[in-house]
């Protein structure tokens, strides 16, 4: 296909390209820009049907790139290309299709994790999509509050994983209701996620950056990640990545943990006294949820005193 040359800042196609760095422009045109040679080549190789065009400098060659014949090439004057190359890669920029995502069907629940994404920071959205693809979630549901996953800050983190996991559009976070599968919420205050037995099918809901889970959103259980005293919270996307790891670790040990189709009884609160069941009560000697380091019931000063006590000689 013959390349299209763009030499003027007033060119309509160039002006359209400029709008694709914002969510409004992405939604309007159903297109997005991705940069970075590694991820551009990955998407051209693995998802050529999602590729619309390749944007190059006028004097740039791509002889070592395998380009499908249906990919339109755009050759831009040097300064125009630099205006679009906001990350300074000096490499071709990929134009991809980013149409509307299908609507989430709350009545259909594939086995595994349905991950709800409310994050308003596009970097967090890209990070969580990458983690979701890495740990094999069944689908992602973007809530109304979420930043567009094809925002340039999101695509820079997510790369080709944007096309490796099904993505759906969902309701606002306050519009979530209990459905046919358990909804598991994430919060700094909740049950120890490292001791939780995930059901085979469930929805995972992290809170908004800052305010967390709004009041009125009902879930079957709330999980937290144990942290050292003095640390208020983890980065939202990092916390979700840890939670997904714990889930996948449990799936790998399913034969030993005896997962069932409902929320396990061992994970439920005793309605009589509001206390966790014995399976969730911390022992005096406990292991940290995310390391092999054991935490003693003795204060550090006492342990050090015991360790420093000289041994008797025979």
The pLDDT score that the predictor gives to residue 210 is: 78
CB 154 within 8 A of CB 89: no
Residues 6+ apart with CB under 8 A from 116: 141, 143, 170, 173, 176, 203, 204, 205, 206
CB 194 within 8 A of CB 290: yes
The pLDDT score that the predictor gives to residue 228 is: 85
In a domain, 79, yes or no: yes
Higher per-residue pLDDT: 199 or 314:
199
The pLDDT score that the predictor gives to residue 150 is: 97
In a domain, 306, yes or no: no
Half-sphere exposure of 305 (CA within 13 A, CB side): 5
Asked if residue 112 has pLDDT above 80, the reply is yes
Are 130 and 258 found together in one domain? yes
Show the domain range for 66.
Answer: 4-97
Asked which of 119-123, 240-244, 265-269 is least confident by mean pLDDT, the reply is 265-269
> What band does 69 get if pLDDT is binned at 50, 70 and 90?
confident
Write out pLDDT tens, residues 118-143: 999 999 999 999 999 999 999 999 99
Neighbours of 129 (CB within 10 A): 28
Are 144 and 18 found together in one domain? no
**CA 37 – CA 44 distance, rounded (Å):** 10
Domain total in the chain: 2
Q: Does this model's pTM top 0.85?
A: no
Are 79 and 123 found together in one domain? no
Asked if residue 161 has pLDDT above 70, the reply is yes
Over residues 25-35, the mean pLDDT reads 96
In a domain, 212, yes or no: yes
By C-alpha distance, which of 149, 168, 151 is closest to 101?
A: 168
Are 37 and 82 found together in one domain? yes
């Amino acid at each position: 296909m013959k390349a299209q040359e763009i030499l003027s800042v007033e060119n309509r196609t160039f002006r359209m390209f400029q709008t694709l760095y914002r969510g409004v422009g992405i939604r309007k045109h159903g297109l997005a820009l991705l940069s970075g040679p590694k991820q551009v080549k990955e998407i051209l190789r693995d998802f050529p049907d999602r590729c619309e065009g390749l944007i190059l400098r006028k004097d740039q060659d791509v002889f070592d790139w395998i380009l499908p014949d249906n990919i339109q090439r755009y050759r831009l004057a040097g300064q125009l290309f630099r205006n679009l190359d906001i990350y300074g890669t000096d490499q071709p920029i990929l134009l991809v299709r980013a149409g509307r995502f299908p609507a989430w069907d709350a009545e259909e629940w594939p086995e595994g994790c349905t991950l709800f994404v409310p994050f308003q920071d596009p970097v967090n959205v890209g990070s969580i999509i990458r983690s979701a693809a890495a740990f094999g979630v069944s689908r992602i549901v973007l809530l109304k509050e979420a930043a567009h996953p094809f925002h340039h800050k999101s695509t820079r983190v997510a790369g080709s994983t944007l096309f490796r996991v099904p993505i759906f559009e969902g309701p606002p976070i306050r519009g979530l209701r209990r459905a046919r599968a358990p909804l598991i919420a994430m919060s700094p205050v909740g049950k120890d996620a490292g001791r939780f037995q995930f059901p085979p099918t469930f929805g995972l809901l992290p809170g908004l950056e800052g305010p967390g889970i709004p009041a009125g959103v009902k879930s079957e259980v709330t999980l937290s990640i144990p942290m050292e005293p003095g640390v208020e919270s983890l980065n939202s996307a990092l916390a979700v990545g840890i939670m997904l790891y714990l889930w996948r670790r449990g799936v790998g040990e399913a034969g030993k943990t005896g997962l069932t189709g409902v929320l396990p009884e061992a994970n439920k609160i005793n309605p009589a006294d509001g206390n966790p069941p014995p399976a969730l009560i911390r022992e005096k000697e406990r292991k940290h949820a995310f390391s092999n380091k054991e935490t003693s019931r003795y204060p550090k000063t006492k342990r050090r005193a015991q360790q420093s006590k000289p041994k008797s000689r025979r």
